[in-house]
Amino acid sequence: MLLLLYILFVIGSGIYFFLTWNYKHWEKKGIPSPEPKILCGNLQGAVFGKKHVVYDFDRIYKNYKDQYSFVGVYSMRQPQYLITDARTAKDILITKFKNFHDNEFADMSDKKKDPIFVSHPFMLKGQEWKEKRNEMTPAFTHLRIKTMYPIFQDTAEHLKMAFLRANGGTIDGYETCAHYAIDVVRVFLSKLCTETCELPLNNSKMGIFEEGYSVIIPIYSIHRDPRYYEDPDKFIPERFAPEKGGTKVYKDKGAFLPFSDGPRIEYKDQYSFVGIYNMRQPQYLAIDARTAKEVLSTKFKNFHDNEFSDLSDQKKDPILTAHPYMLKGQDWKEKRAELSTAFTHIRIKAMYPIFQKTAEHLKTTILRANGDAIDSYEMFSNYAIDVICNCAFGTDASAMFGKEAQIREMGRKILISTKLFLYFFVIQMLPRLRRIYKISIVNKVVEKFFLKIMKDAIDLRQRSKDSHNDYLTYLLELRRKKNLSDLDMVAHVILMFFDGFDAVGSVITHALYHMGRDKEIQDKLWNEIKKTIEEHDKITFDVVQEMPFLEQVVSEALRLYPPGSFKSKICTESCELRLNNSKMGTFEEGYSVIIPIYSIHRDPRYYEDPDKFIPERFAPEKGGTKIYKDKGAFIPFGDGPRTCLGMKFAQAQLKAALFAIVKDFEIDVDARTSDTLQLNPKYMIPIVLGGIWLKLKEIK
């Protein structure tokens, strides 16, 4: 009996030692870090499914943001950096891009197992990413988006019809807006430090970002940080007014990234970053916008990789590993260069009619609700899917007309997998396993489905004599120049699904929710729309771009509800950053760095009344978003060389939908929507528990 007890004691001690031995990592490195809990590290709420991960990051962010620019955290057992300063986030994304040029999950799969997803720029590294980025960028230029804008408008009109069908009843805001987003075409950023570098830990100390570590940028926290935004939790579109500087004033300080929820207030004034534990893994957590800016921008050479870029490989996952987010080094550069031309101003301008047409279809969907409350997230996600289908496949997904479109179902299955969840759990406990064993992230059924759709779309387009200004046209041009395979083209399309229909639906939903709660904002935007219609014979992409208050509303929605709550980078080259006013902290190569975008965006150091929706904070006369971007406090799409490729494409969709809905409907929030919005822990993007249900009454 004693022998059995002894054996059990030895086994138990061994397990305990294995689970906790890494928890002294940040203490040894001299990086501030909250005390980790066994098994879950610093992410207790997320690991046990009780809270959205954004709240774990935000708790830490608020604790340390006034003291450090970044801290160390643990994702289960894995150490990561968490950025707590918008300026540091901007450094990582832009200034120090060469140090953080890869995304964290770039090596999660390979081309053999997942040929479509590994072709997404998000999954690519180095030269592959650069080429893919260059390939895609022209598809999203101002001109191309402008030409696609009629599609956005048409889809937004369909959304209007969906509201009218509610017939005055309540609607689920998420569901409705999700449908919208599907018709057109991504809560934190996770970068990989690819080259060790130093960034300020606080005002007196530099901290080192070590190569190989992931860097989390908690966009949600940055966007709600009162240091950057007044009344950060209040929906105030006027904060982005042109006379206030628009979004530029926030982007310039790294405070407009759209993405997390974090740290305690008593610590945030002491450090720029701290060390945390994600289960057994030590990580840096940036709690200062300046630190976030440095990780994302200024010190990019030290954090050029994303944390999850090594989760797969090209053999197992050829699609996902082709995404620029999953690529490193030269691969990333090439893929990025390949894709960048797809999203230029000219290309987006050319696609804008598609956006408008799809947005106009929203009206039909709304009217069909016959006065009932509408699940807004579902509707606007479907809108985004229809836009994607129109631009990428030249076809209508019919997602908003009562059918559960198969293409939408497949789009949502891209990254939803029990196997993927288990793999994430295991590699947080055993980080080295990711180097040995890769998985296929994109479901093979999904891969085959999109391959067939792409082949059919290509065949139809080649037989058509009509001219088109859409994403498919760009891909066919690219195919002729670079001899792309069908798989390569599918990977490019997956980029659009991966980056966004749920995210677009979420942002539209929250913007309408706050306008439903604040009639003054709603009326102000309606008056601007009315004036714009009266002054112009035709509503074009360029006309919409000149609407300052619409821009402010979109920017404020992105601040409070960034598509990514945090960003996770890997320190690719050790460096020092300011830890606090008297000490520098070292970011060591190989460690991950968390930039809690959600927390930075809601930090009172950057925003007055950070939790209030106040669009006026981005007014042009106040510097717009620029003053916040300059200090790293506005990073809804990330920052630096690895900023989101589809940013302009997504913003054009958002504006087309909001224009179409506010023009024709009075917005009210249905009683079934909770007064206190809590994020659903099952989703990485900001989706509220219970949904957001809206009532839209047609303006006669």
What phi, psi does 301 have (nearest 5°)?
A: -65, -20
Strand partners, 90: 293
- Asked if residues 378 and 181 have their Cβ atoms less than 8 Å apart, the reply is no
DSSP string, 659-676: HHHHHHEEEEE-TTS-SS
DSSP string, 364-401: HHHHTTTB--EEHHHHHHHHHHHHHIIIIISS---TTT
Q: How far apart are CA 261 and CA 596, in angstroms?
A: 7
3-state helix, strand, coil in the chain (%, to 5): 45, 25, 30
Q: How far apart are CA 146 and CA 137, in angstroms?
A: 15
Strands 616-616 and 237-239, by their bridges, are antiparallel
- Asked if residues 293 and 95 have their Cβ atoms less than 8 Å apart, the reply is yes
Q: Is 47 in a helix, a strand, or coil? A: helix
| Residue-level length of the chain | 700
Token pair 């150490």: residue? 79
**Between the CA atoms of 131, 132, 136 and 138, what dihedral angle is there, to the nearest 10 degrees?**
0
What phi, psi does 181 have (nearest 5°)?
A: -65, -35
The count of other CB atoms within 10 Å of the CB of residue 236 is: 31
Token pair 């940036």: residue? 286
**Between the CA atoms of 565, 672, 377 and 380, what dihedral angle is there, to the nearest 10 degrees?**
-140
391 labeled part of a ligand binding site? no
Q: How far apart are CA 386 and CA 408, in angstroms?
A: 9
Q: Burial of 483 by CB count in 10 Å (0-12 exposed, 13-18 middle, 19+ buried)?
A: exposed
- Asked if residues 197 and 516 have their Cβ atoms less than 8 Å apart, the reply is no
In 250-404, DSSP assigns E strands to 273-288, 328, 340-344, 374-375
- Reference 549, options 655, 657, 451, 436; nearest CA is 655
What phi, psi does 166 have (nearest 5°)?
A: -70, -20
| H or E stretch at 556 | helix 548-560
The count of other CB atoms within 10 Å of the CB of residue 424 is: 17
- Asked if residues 190 and 601 have their Cβ atoms less than 8 Å apart, the reply is no
Q: How far apart are CA 221 and CA 611, in angstroms?
A: 10
- Reference 599, options 236, 226, 250; nearest CA is 226
**Between the CA atoms of 140, 142, 143 and 148, what dihedral angle is there, to the nearest 10 degrees?**
60
End-to-end CA distance of the chain: 83
DSSP label at residue 610 = T
Token pair 């501030």: residue? 32
| Amino acid at residue number 480 | R
- Reference 104, options 291, 348, 283; nearest CA is 283
Q: Alpha carbon of 537 to those of 230, 359, 474, 551, 653: distances in Å?
A: 38, 19, 30, 21, 21
Token pair 């939903």: residue? 509
**Helical H runs in 24-141?**
25-29, 44-47, 53-64, 86-90, 126-136
Binding residues: 644
Binding residues for heme: 644
